Structure 1
Amino acid sequence: MVTIEIEYCVPCGFLDRASDIQHALLRQFGDRLDRVALVTGDHGVLTVAVDGEIVWDKSEDGYDVDAITRRVRESI
């Protein structure tokens, strides 16, 4: 089973984006996941990590839930 962590910037108001990512991943891969955790952060962070390895980072990639889902699929 797989653990996913979505770290998001609280002061930036990224909770809605993090929640959207979380819901999309649970819909697609819910039966293959141990957990999808939201992790609070700051300094503009919005990342998705699969088993501790960052597979998507807002600072490097555009925000696209479908693209994030594809990245996670490649990692699991």
Structure 2
Amino acid sequence: MTDTTKPRIVITYCTQCQWLLRAGWMAQELLSTFGADIGEVALVPGTGGVFQIDCNDVVIWERQRDDGFPDVKTLKQRVRDQLEPGRDLGHIDRA
């Protein structure tokens, strides 16, 4: 059962481009970092080259707008900035 009071992250990926593995890997990374602080990470199939990550209906990353795919560090920082801006991500925040 999902906790509807916690944030929901949605990763929409293109099935035509076969980006399911990339989407699944990013979901795994987010779950390993934010675990109990998020209610759900959903994978939503799409078409037309879409790759978008939303957190509570706020676009965190969009492939065309942001020129490609996020690296894990950038993705985690953007999710953190949306959920809990003061949170320290440990080595991810180090130079």
**TM-score, normalized by length of structure 1?**
0.93
**Unmatched runs of 5 consecutive residues or more in structure 2:** 1-5, 84-95
Q: Share of identical aligned residues, percent?
A: 36
| Higher RCO (C-alpha under 8 Å, 6+ residues apart) | 1
Aligned to 2:20: 15
2:45 to 40, 55, 60: 40
Q: Which has the larger strand fraction?
A: 1
Asked if 1:26 corresponds to 2:53, the answer is no
Q: Which aligned runs of 4 or more in structure 1 are off by greater than 3 angstroms?
A: none
Greater C-alpha radius of gyration:
2
Q: Provide the C-alpha distance between the structure 2 equivalents of 1:54 and 1:27, rounded to a whole number of angstroms.
A: 21
- 1:71 matches 2:59: no
Quote the RMSD (CA, aligned, Å). Answer: 0.9
Verify: 1:59 aligned to 2:64, yes or no. Answer: yes
Within the alignment, does 1:2 sit opposite 2:25 as a pair?
A: no
After TM superposition, the score normalised by the length of structure 2 is 0.76
